[in-house]
Amino acid sequence: MRHVGIVGIGQTPVGTWVDRTLSDLAVASLRSAMQDAGADSVQALYIGNMLSGQLQRQENLGALIADAAGLRGMPSVKIEAGCAAGGAALHMGVLAVAAGVYDTVAVIGVEKMAGYPVGDVLAALATAGALDEAAHGLTCAGLNALIMRRYMYEYSWRHDDFAAFSINAHRNAVTNSNAMFRRPLTLEEYRTARLIADPLTLLDSSPICDGAAAVILCSADAARHFRHKPVRITASAVATDTVALHDRSDILWPRAVYASAKAAYGQAGRSPQDIDLFELHDAFSITAALSLEASGFAEKGAGVRLAQDGAIALKGSIPICTFGGLKARGHPVGASGLYQAVEAVMQLRADAGNNQVEGARIAMIQSIAGSGSFVATHILEV
Amino acid sequence: MRHVGIVGIGQTPVGTWVDRTLSDLAVASLRSAMQDAGADSVQALYIGNMLSGQLQRQENLGALIADAAGLRGMPSVKIEAGCAAGGAALHMGVLAVAAGVYDTVAVIGVEKMAGYPVGDVLAALATAGALDEAAHGLTCAGLNALIMRRYMYEYSWRHDDFAAFSINAHRNAVTNSNAMFRRPLTLEEYRTARLIADPLTLLDSSPICDGAAAVILCSADAARHFRHKPVRITASAVATDTVALHDRSDILWPRAVYASAKAAYGQAGRSPQDIDLFELHDAFSITAALSLEASGFAEKGAGVRLAQDGAIALKGSIPICTFGGLKARGHPVGASGLYQAVEAVMQLRADAGNNQVEGARIAMIQSIAGSGSFVATHILEV
């Protein structure tokens, strides 16, 4: 396989942008990434998106966004993998360059969720899960509430014990100008937050929001044409699990997280000890805990302790959500995997300002869909 | 780029299968393709589908279908590109094998459209087009009616002149046990068919239907493990054009068809004269005419003549729709690109029975979305 690197990054602020179209957001992030790379053009686009058909009533985003970007005619394909569509699109972009078909491509993640009736958005998000569970009213929050309740029961954690995940995310978002929630969170606020699905509260949950992020990928040969030394993608691994939660033998062990992380470590020749920072998929605080465990950073049931001990902080042993994560930077679902990539590149370029993880050389990013049914894990290195 | 070939093919009959789920259809086609290849397993799945989010309220098909197929855990990604999702998925599968990441993958196209209110299906299909045109009530048929009317005006063709496309398609479907419409069509029936969008009639149009088709792709090195000598994929090219018809300088010149065919000829080192059969995207009879022209088989405005002269028949100079095409085999939209691949392989294996194109060694297949806004063209050779 040819080596593939990231030479450009772009992102729009995450928020509720009812006056900006899906195309506007995607094109803004693409232009920013091309400018960052010093690229006049690219050879193909890969678009990560989940909800455009259901919410905007717009499919065929490959053609739509190429056209809107002034790249009419360009090969351009949409990838869908639930809330992990961004990670999946990054994976497909890596394959396209690795195949030797293209030397330079852009991968864009874009999602617009704000401004629609909340019930419509939740129903659309639930299409990443199993129809028979959705039919019983199980939203994404509902499914993760079941997981969180079981986790608390099995390992004797209290709801308060998860606060450190949300507090860490909000703390890091304060100095991220692209984050949706740029304010610190107190334990008291966390404790008194509105219940969403017992035991999950609003402050365990990532927000409904809009955004787009993009990266420019290139082959090792093409790297000399760009302004930045490439951040190498040393692993790109996808795995799946049952879509229905009730089909899993252990809902506290996300097998696709384990499998994709294991495959990624194998590809990169790395182990959890080598990872300097981990942009994980904290759609809910429980998801962060399980991701840390199944990715090899904590024993089963002990992911919460990493948050409580401060290991997940910028100066900790395994920093996560270094720009706010899904919780506080925001989770425009199909875009989140690309925000993670952009933020990891900023860290590895030592260009993260107040959010810098000192000496970061190896970053892992992980995008999860459907309560763990689809997972994409990438390792990035300088 | 590594060489990629097709070693297994599978398909379900096209029809209105209200009692079979999306997963059922996809898994049936996959199993059939694996059996044909003599493959115990594959390493990844690529799923072409357009409408599952809107009609079945189910996304995240990568995980869903891997799970349903008993391949739980396997890397599996959904590709969406309107009615060309099948061609786009085939393209991504080719890239995945070419990249050297996988030696054997399956590409599945699947769609379920029957059994829903027709208005819902047409609205869902219209999401492959431009929102501002859809908002004025322009369905796929409406857009193609505008194109057909303009074509008739510019080149002085009458509606009757298009009959030969539909008659050819139906004739070839009679001996295809997987086709939806297995009966010949008369000129009189064509003439008296119900008007859909002037001048388009029901018999210019492909049907709303369900189906799935699949191929097993492998690298040249892995080919020895399978029952069949691989059919080589010598070209895999994608191009885009404006999504809105009103943004095109000439609605009778589908630039993405031209661009993807030209790129495919370049990759394969072939020209239109070399192509023994062409499975094109006859969603409407006018689409067949334009595809023949922009792919280099006829002068502008002269595509219709190829049908009238019998050049498109099994014994003609450029056979099309050799198993009935989208018109008569049927057009389960995200699956059609894979049906084309399956049928082309049958031709190149000299395994097409009564539908055989004698001496076929080079086939071209082409999948089109959004009135030409996204096009995938592949060339297959033995």
Residues of B in contact with A242 (CB under 8 A): 63, 67, 72
- Exactly one of B159, B228, B281, B331 is catalytic; name it: B331
Is B267 near chain A, with CB under 8 Å? no
- Exactly one of A3, A83, A140, A209 is catalytic; name it: A83
- Exactly one of A91, A228, A281, A331 is catalytic; name it: A331
- In tens, the pLDDT along A232-273 reads 999 999 999 999 999 999 999 999 999 999 999 999 999 999
Distance set, CA B233 to CA A4, B7, B256, B344, B360 (Å): 24, 11, 20, 11, 15
Is A76 near chain B, with CB under 8 Å? yes
Closest in B76, B127, B240 to A72, CB measured: B240
Evaluate whether A4-117+208-232 and A139-177+233-381 have a shared fold: yes
Q: What is the DSSP string of A128-162?
A: GS-HHHHTTT--HHHHHHHHHHHHHHHHT--GGGG
| Interface contact flag, A77 B88, Cβ < 8 Å | yes
Task: Please state which architecture CATH assigns to domain B139-177+233-381.
Answer: 3-Layer(aba) Sandwich (3.40)
Spatial separation of the C-alpha atoms in residues A9 and A34, rounded to whole Å: 7
Bond preceding residue A207 cis, omega within 30 of 0: no
Is A129 near chain B, with CB under 8 Å? yes
ipTM score above 0.85? yes
Residues of B in contact with A58 (CB under 8 A): 127, 131
Model-level pTM greater than 0.90?
Answer: yes
Give the pLDDT confidence score for residue A2 in this predicted structure. Answer: 82
Question: Residue A331 catalytic?
Answer: yes
Is B66 near chain A, with CB under 8 Å? yes
Is A237 near chain B, with CB under 8 Å? yes
Closest in A88, A100, A238 to B1, CB measured: A100
Closest in B53, B77, B256 to A88, CB measured: B77
How confident is the prediction along chain B (382 residues), in pLDDT tens digits per residue? Answer: 789 999 999 999 999 999 999 999 999 999 999 999 999 999 999 999 999 999 999 999 999 999 999 999 999 999 999 999 999 999 999 999 999 999 999 999 999 999 999 999 999 999 999 999 999 999 999 999 999 999 999 999 999 999 999 999 999 999 999 999 999 999 999 999 999 999 999 999 999 999 999 999 999 999 999 999 999 999 999 999 999 999 999 999 999 999 999 999 999 999 999 999 999 999 999 999 999 999 999 999 999 999 999 999 999 999 999 999 999 999 999 999 999 999 999 999 999 999 999 999 999 999 999 999 999 999 999 9
Find, in chain B, the residue whose alpha carbon is nearest to that of A3. Answer: B99
**CA-closest candidate to residue B257, choices B271, B236, B235, B241:** B241
Distance set, CA B108 to CA A331, B114, B327, B342 (Å): 30, 19, 21, 11
Domain B4-117+208-232: which CATH number of 3.90.120.10, 3.40.50.1580, 1.20.1250.20, 3.40.47.10:
3.40.47.10
Is B131 near chain A, with CB under 8 Å? yes
| Interface contact flag, B50 A61, Cβ < 8 Å | no
- In tens, the pLDDT along B135-172 reads 999 999 999 999 999 999 999 999 999 999 999 999 99
Task: Map out the domains of chain A as residue ranges.
Answer: 4-117+208-232, 139-177+233-381
Is B369 near chain A, with CB under 8 Å? yes
